[in-house]
Structure 1
């Protein structure tokens, strides 16, 4: 569904990502991982058409995404940016209703189908009891679920999320990730997310892309990516990789900075 070809991304003429070639597998959960400043959020935003590349292409079903009409793209993919905020007093239902915009013609009122989809999105995310509550009065996990409900209401086959668990406590992190896993299993949606926690990426993603300074170091299954030498190169840490006794998936246990990272920290100090 989504492929990047020789993608260069720049901010104010400074190239952040150079000659990026990646493929996002369809109907799977993909996690972009990397250290802060590695370019993973920038890559996500460019694939979602929020940023225009300096050169190269993002292809959606073989078509250059930046040449497609906005409404056409909005029917194919939805994006949940990092730390979104809703206007004060806006209710969950009001927020989710915005997800139907790509499907409306002109300034037409909501159709019966629109209302059914909105109701389904609220119920699917477990937000029915909060439907008429202002978003700004919800807990962090509830707010994230409300925004995910809005993205679901777009009825897109692809869902992008930029660090959906940032600033959430452990219970709310699991709440959001379990919801995304459930949505994938039931709806077979393609989900692409920037993930801060390596172990969360390993547990919930089928495909991982490890990024360092805008370059892909390794892409593959969690078993293929979660290797000590790859983690050291990408994050600058030494670690042990063990198997999760419940799932058999790899878990990262960091124990020290790499030698190059120590020298870098010492130089800064």
Structure 2
């Protein structure tokens, strides 16, 4: 295999009791890809992420991370995860941006270990990568929802993961800052060569940024390049979603 596979899912199915949430999912993400995973509420997106992160075990199928069966995979430091933080984060938490991002190194250097010079440099580099250098000593509770989410992405990338998974990270982000947020993700993908899997509802915006799109609604109805996705008819998308759908594109000039 010439192109390294970051994630491979083969014939994966997951069910609660007798009800299938995911059925016969086949998905491959190569190194360097930026994949937008879209689908309606209840389509199984969160369940699929939990299977990838080994929080749930599918009843059928296989998952490979970095070409290693997930049961044997040990290099979890290669994977970063950013959840829907905005609705649950305690804004009164007494920590600066620097401290929050530095906490992302705990798994790598150990708990209660002092940061070495190279670790501190990595913290500042991660903060700079998400455009938050001017806020490095600001208490995180003083930041906007979008700024807080940028900090949590910095925390996820400070240990230099090769694969970053984001579960609807723009929840709670002001609509006027969403485009800047996606621009930041695009830079992480292109400049730092981080492979991204982004779960989102914002189909119109992400198609300007991602390299691939996957449409999930219990089954994986589509998985391909952005150019292939652009050729889909509105009727096809409506069928995937189970209801009529208008695909909106945005002019951000």
TM-score normalised according to structure 1 size = 0.82
Q: Within 2, Cα distance between the matches of 1:241 and 1:124? A: 29
Matches within 5 A, 1:57-96: 57-69=62-74, 72-73=75-76, 75-83=77-85, 85=89, 88-96=93-101
Q: Within 1, Cα distance between the matches of 2:84 and 2:17? A: 22
Go from structure 1 to structure 2 and tell me whether the alpha carbon gap of 1:173 and 1:238 turns closer, same or farther (over 3 Å shift): closer
Q: Within 2, Cα distance between the matches of 1:240 and 1:88? A: 39
SS in 2 for 1:46: helix
SS in 2 for 1:217: strand
Show CA shifts across 1:89-139 (max 9, x none): 122111101211232156432122111100111111111221122212210
Question: Post-superposition shift, 1:49?
Answer: 2.8
Q: Within 1, Cα distance between the matches of 2:236 and 2:53? A: 27
Question: Post-superposition shift, 1:246?
Answer: 8.4
Show CA shifts across 1:153-201 (max 9, x none): 0201111000111232222211211101111111111000101111122
Question: Post-superposition shift, 1:8?
Answer: 2.1
Show CA shifts across 1:217-268 (max 9, x none): 11112232242232111221154788x7889xxxxxxxxxxxxxxxxxxxxx
SS in 2 for 1:82: coil
SS in 1 for 2:207: helix
Q: Within 1, Cα distance between the matches of 2:245 and 2:122? A: 47
Q: Within 1, Cα distance between the matches of 2:252 and 2:139? A: 38
Q: Which residue of 2 aligns with 1:237?
A: 244
Q: Which residue of 1 aligns with 2:227?
A: 223
Q: Which residue of 2 aligns with 1:129?
A: 134
Q: Within 2, Cα distance between the matches of 1:118 and 1:131? A: 10
SS in 1 for 2:166: strand
Q: Within 2, Cα distance between the matches of 1:109 and 1:240? A: 50
Go from structure 1 to structure 2 and tell me whether the alpha carbon gap of 1:91 and 1:53 turns closer, same or farther (over 3 Å shift): farther
1:141–1:175 CA contact under 8 A, matched in 2: no
In the alignment of these two chains, the number of paired residues is 242
Tell me which of 141, 156, 166 is aligned to 2:146: 141
Larger relative contact order (CA 8 Å, sep ≥ 6): 2
Q: Which residue of 2 aligns with 1:25?
A: 30
SS in 1 for 2:40: coil
2:10–2:63 CA contact under 8 A, matched in 1: yes
SS in 1 for 2:118: helix
The structure with the largest alpha-carbon Rg is 1
Go from structure 1 to structure 2 and tell me whether the alpha carbon gap of 1:175 and 1:240 turns closer, same or farther (over 3 Å shift): closer
Tell me which of 189, 192, 201 is aligned to 1:196: 201
Is 1:205 matched up with 2:210?
A: yes
TM-score normalised according to structure 2 size = 0.87
1:5–1:56 CA contact under 8 A, matched in 2: yes
